[in-house]
Every structure is written in structure tokens, then in C-alpha cells.
Amino acid sequence: MKAVRPISALKRHRGFSLIELMVGVGIGLVITLAVFQVLTASEARKRTSTGLNDASQSGNYALYVLDRMLRSAGTGYSQGWATVGGCRLNALLPGGESLPRVGPLPAPFTAIPQAFRLAPVVIFRGASDTGSDVLMVMSGATGYGEVLTNVPAGGVAATQVTLPNTIGYRAGDLVMLASGGECLLSQVDAAKPACAGDPAAPLGTACGPILPLGGTYYTPAGPNLSLATLALQSDVSAFSIGNATTNPPQFGLIGVGADSTLFAHNLLLFNGVNASEPIAEGVRELYAVYGLDTNDDGILDAWQSPTALWDGPALMDGSAASNARLRQIVAVRVGMVLRSSLVERELSPGVPVAPANLPLFSDLPAPNPIIVDLTRAGENRNQRHRTVEITVPLRNFLMRTTS
């Protein structure tokens, strides 16, 4: 006969003991903590990657804009450089402004000189409001022959210019009239009828010699040159640089401003607003150097920092020596320091994520390399930094007629 266990003894052997429960809870906490650590590290890496990707995309777009601007530099006048290269620009601009400027340029270009000369590319070292370089790029947009037109003696009048022919000129086109180191910007009047070369012209319509002047950019006199003065000259040249509405030329500045933003400013104020336009964010620094053809054989021979005789104000003094230097520039190398917007934790106590400095142009001979100091005021080394560089040939100057 079997012995019957007491009910109280059976109850004591059901479920988990307190020790077993505590061990299970402890194991669960350890696993939870491990999973949390993995998720935290993964999320941190994802934020870092996202921040760097955003900075890289912004930098790539900035490089695209720079590449497009620089490759077109010199379009429309490179073939006539000996005649119009380095001429001082005179223009009436929308909003009461002019070239040379009446007031200072908008930020971040307030330190740039107010007078400009026709040149494909000029670098102003450390001239932006944040201390980075500023690029000035000039190019036309007509693509019609790229050859200057000689104006016959007495061919300039108050409201018109007489040319051998006006093929290629359309209503609203911007026309540069040059003589004696000065250039006056004018505009073809809207009343000019369509003629040969214009798809809107009836078949067989001939172009006469008269080019009527009028419109927003028309002015009888600029600060340093007038139509009346040109009427007395025998060495006047004319060339189209584009259309103010449908195909505007590119006369602009580009540089880094506040909030690590790359800005551009159109010197001809096509939008009528005297303000700079943000291009890309996350750009902390911008620097550039020239590539020179020193013996006029169309081959890059040396790299030159924009200092001393090669600084912006020196290259734009209008002297024959400066014009000769401008003609040697056949390429530009641009370097930028990009910064992500994410502020990260230190890698370890006292060790930030960014190095103390970053090099640009490190493969070039001295004194071209630049060391960007990330320990200076305003920098945050707990944000990721990255450098990008691009070398752009000035194709219009490489194709120019040699002297």
C-alpha cells in the first residue's frame, strides 16, 4: 500500500524558487543591456554615416557648381583676349547699382574691391567674411563664333551701334563695347527685328548693320566710359555675352559665408536683388590655387598660390603685367573642408572625433599646401570633417589663339 504525501509537501515543489527567478531576471537584464548597447552603437554609426553622407552630397553638389562655372570661364572673349582682356567693367545694374559698384557687395563678399575687370578666373585669398578664398568667374553664354567684331570708325551713336553685320544679335542680348582698357555693358533694344540666324525670323530676312540699343542694361554713360567717348574712338570692339532673360552670362563671385554655407553672387544682378544666394551647406572652408602655362604652349607648367602679384587686387590693377599673368592661368584647383551637422561624443575622454588640422593641396610643392586649423575659435572638433579637391582646366583659354 502506497504512502500518501501531504498536500502541503506537493505545494512546496510547484513553480520556480526565488533564487531561480532572480537568476533569470539577472540574465534577462544582461541580455537587454547587451542588446541596448548594440542598438545604441548601431544608431550612433547610422547617425554618423547619415551626417557624413549629407555633407558629402552637399560637397558633391558644390563641386558640380564650381566645375560647371570654371569650365566655362572665358567663354565669349578668350579669342579676343589681347583686345579686351582685363578691361574695367562699366555697367548700369537693376536697383540703381552700377559697375564699379556704388556700395559694398553683400555678405560674405564685403571685402571684395568694388571695381571689376574682365577676366576668366581671379582668386581673392582669404577675402570672404569667414576668411576663406573667394572665386570670381566670368563667362559669356552666346557661343556664337567667340570672335570680337570691330566697330567701324564713327559707328557708335547714342542709341545704336553700326556693325559690319548684326547676325547673331537678338533683342535683349547683352553687348560689351570695349576700347582703351575700358568695357561698357549695353543691351540690344527689344525693337530689333528678327533676322538671319534667328529661328523666329522669316526665311530670307537679312540682317542690317544697325544694332539698336535699349533696355534695362542700356546706359549712355558708365562711371568711366560713355557712348559719346566711344564715338570718338577708332579701336572699338563689340561682342555679345548672352541674353539677360533667356541665356544670361555668368559674372559672379562664390565663397563661404555664415553658418558654413557656400554662397554665390551675380555681379550683374539678373534677379534684381542685391543679395547673395546660398548654394550648399556644410562647407566650412574653400581655398584655391592657379595652374599656370608659363611658356604659352598650352600645357600646365606650375601651380601658383593667389598671393603677392597673384592676389585678386593685384591681378585686377589693369597693368600690362597683370593682364599677362591673367593670360597664363589655364586651370584652377579648388579644395574644400566639409563639416557634418551632427555633434558626436568624444572617442574617449579628451579625444574629439576630428583631428587638430586638415591638409589641402598636400601633393603640391611649397608654398601651395594649406593646413586648415580645426582648433581655432568657432570650430567644433566633435563634428566630422572631410576634405574634397577638384582640378578644373579652363578649356576656353586652352583653346585660345596663342600670341
Q: Where are the domains of the chain?
A: 54-140+250-403, 147-248
| pLDDT score at 52 | 59
For the cut 60, the answer to whether the pLDDT of residue 7 exceeds it is no
Max mean pLDDT among 2-6, 147-151, 288-292 falls in: 288-292
Could you give the 3-state DSSP secondary structure of residue 306? coil
Q: Name the residue with higher pLDDT: 207 or 122.
A: 122
| pLDDT score at 29 | 86
Average pLDDT over residues 69-74: 92
Q: How confident is the model at residue 47 (pLDDT cuts 50, 70, 90)?
A: low
Task: Please answer whether residues 255 and 277 qualify as being in contact, where contact means their C-beta atoms are separated by less than 8 angstroms.
Answer: no
DSSP 266: E
| pLDDT score at 403 | 44
d(CA 57, CA 384): 14
d(CA 86, CA 182): 8
Average pLDDT over residues 322-340: 95
Average pLDDT over residues 353-378: 93
| Whole-number average pLDDT of the chain | 88
Average pLDDT over residues 352-365: 93
Q: How confident is the model at residue 209 (pLDDT cuts 50, 70, 90)?
A: very high
Q: How confident is the model at residue 283 (pLDDT cuts 50, 70, 90)?
A: very high
For the cut 80, the answer to whether the pLDDT of residue 4 exceeds it is no
Average pLDDT over residues 216-243: 94
Average pLDDT over residues 88-97: 93
For the cut 80, the answer to whether the pLDDT of residue 25 exceeds it is yes
Enclosing H/E stretch for 91: strand 88-92
Average pLDDT over residues 377-387: 86
Three-point CA angle 283, 284, 288, nearest 5°: 85
Average pLDDT over residues 341-355: 83
For the cut 90, the answer to whether the pLDDT of residue 340 exceeds it is no
From the CB of residue 113, how many other CB atoms can be counted at a distance below 10 Å? 16
Could you give the 3-state DSSP secondary structure of residue 203? coil
Non-local (6+) Cβ contacts of 309 within 8 A are: 315, 321, 322, 325
For the cut 60, the answer to whether the pLDDT of residue 144 exceeds it is no
Max mean pLDDT among 40-54, 136-150, 203-217 falls in: 203-217
Average pLDDT over residues 7-17: 61
Average pLDDT over residues 93-118: 94
| pLDDT score at 373 | 94
147-248 topology per CATH: Elongation Factor Tu (Ef-tu); domain 3 (2.40.30)
Q: How confident is the model at residue 226 (pLDDT cuts 50, 70, 90)?
A: very high
| pLDDT score at 354 | 87
d(CA 33, CA 27): 10
- Tens-place pLDDT, residues 176-197: 999 999 999 999 999 898 887 7
Q: Where are the alpha helices (DSSP H) in 245-376?
A: 312-315, 320-328
Distances (CA, A) of 289 to 115, 184, 281, 310: 22, 30, 22, 10
Enclosing H/E stretch for 9: helix 7-12
| pLDDT score at 146 | 65
Could you give the 3-state DSSP secondary structure of residue 260? helix
- Tens-place pLDDT, residues 270-280: 988 899 999 99
- Report the chain's C-alpha Rg in angstroms: 32
